[in-house]
Copies of this chain bind each other. A is one copy, B any other.
Amino acid sequence: MDKLIKFINRYVTLEKEDLDVILPFFKRNILLKDKFIIKKEQVVTDYYFIASGGLIIYDIKDEIQFTRYFAFENEFIGDISKIRNRGRSDSYIKAIEDTELYSISYKDMETLYDRFPLWQKFGRLIWEDSFASVLYGIHNFQSLTAKERYLDLLKRSDLIFRVPLKDLSLFLGVTPQSLSRIRKEISIAKE
């Protein structure tokens, strides 16, 4: 649980006794590559902390895949809009690498929130961060072309080395063919 503890400590400084109460609520999970932690229409109950590895979140409509998001080590995720009322997932979550997860139920989180004010603070900070990072993504879509979004991603992450072009392109909001074309243009421009 080392990674999880470090992650928590980046946000709040909990007493050891408190941490000893909180941590047991997390369940460790090893998810092999291409296995699912949740499928569409399943009831959403848990948050996940990713200690290592990576996940893809995607939807399938009319046989077409839409990549919503990728999540990697040291990310804390949860489908907030569904989890609150035990709604059903509108996407699949699959491991794209062998992944070590720590899951905790919505119910347990709420209990801990009420019991430990610092844990509530942890929750607040997590969601503030999540909000800020998605906001950044929105601004990208509003103001950049597909090629610019791709170049921005290159600068900020190692995503292209970890996920297939097909999934990446849909995440960027373009077709795989388009991204392939963009990639070619860039490689030509470099010469």
Which chain A residues have a beta carbon within 8 Å of chain B's beta carbons? 59, 61, 66-68, 80-81, 113-114, 117, 120-121, 123-124, 127-128, 130-132, 134-139, 141-143, 170-173
User: Which of B124, B142, B143 contacts A120 (CB under 8 A)?
Assistant: B124
Q: Taking the nearest CB of chain B, how far is it from the CB of A57, in angstroms?
A: 10
Q: Given the complex, which residues of B lie within 8 Å of A170, measured CB to CB?
A: 142
Q: Is A138 a contact of B139 with CB atoms below 8 Å?
A: no
Known: A141-B173, A142-B172, A142-B173. 12 other contacts (CB 8 A): A66-B139, A80-B131, A114-B121, A117-B117, A127-B127, A127-B128, A127-B131, A131-B131, A134-B134, A142-B170, A142-B171, A143-B173
Number of copies: 2
Q: Given the complex, which residues of B lie within 8 Å of A123, measured CB to CB?
A: 124
Q: With A120-B117, A121-B113, A132-B81 in contact, do A141 and B141 touch (Cβ < 8 Å)?
A: yes
Expressed in whole angstroms, the Cα–Cα distance for A80 and B127 within the complex equals 10
Q: Given the complex, which residues of B lie within 8 Å of A141, measured CB to CB?
A: 138, 141-142, 173
Residue of B nearest to A137 (CB): B138
Residue of B nearest to A110 (CB): B121
Expressed in whole angstroms, the Cα–Cα distance for A68 and B141 within the complex equals 10
Q: Taking the nearest CB of chain B, how far is it from the CB of A48, in angstroms?
A: 15
Q: Which has the most chain B C-beta neighbours within 10 Å: A61, A114, A127, A171?
A: A127
Q: Given the complex, which residues of B lie within 8 Å of A143, measured CB to CB?
A: 59, 61, 66, 173
Q: Given the complex, which residues of B lie within 8 Å of A61, measured CB to CB?
A: 143
